[in-house]
Amino acid sequence: MLNALEVFTTVVVGVMVGVEFSVAFVMNRIFDALPEDSGQLGRAHGGRMLGAVMPVWYITSLVLVAVWAIAGRHRPGAGLVVTAGALLILSVVMSILLLVPINNRGKTWTPENRPDDWKEQMNRWDRFHYVRVAVIIAAFTLLVAALA
């Protein structure tokens, strides 16, 4: 049963990492290349859609890692799982303190109501997001190593 939990948790976290990686290095580049206001509208829509889904995904991933850490505390690799959990906690704290406030503003913007510095705010979000992606990739890597 623990093996199934380990694999399931690793897959859930891995898919989350893939989505966030895609946002950082694929979707936002596509949005930035769109003409006129399309990119800003795409980011606003993405902020609404992923802003609703990702908190559940992050918390679910964290809970699964915590259950794995507790259930497998006497197994080799337990320290890696605990460290991965700490990194996921860091990613949640980063999200709440740094990314969510910008996202909450950006998801309401239209070409008519966006602030003059909207591009700077989106660039700031992108920079924080790159760091968060690195953190969750590290967590995922530790979970994969713990399976070995």
pLDDT tens, position by position, 65-108: 999 999 999 999 999 999 999 999 999 999 999 999 999 999 99
What is residue 148's predicted lDDT score, i.e. its pLDDT? 86
Residue 28 has a pLDDT of 93
At residue 9, the pLDDT reads 98
* Average pLDDT of adjacent 10-residue blocks, the chain of 148 residues: 95 98 96 94 95 95 97 95 98 97 96 95 97 98 96
Return the pLDDT at 79: 97
Contact between 137 and 17 (Cβ < 8 Å): yes
Radius of gyration of the chain (CA): 17
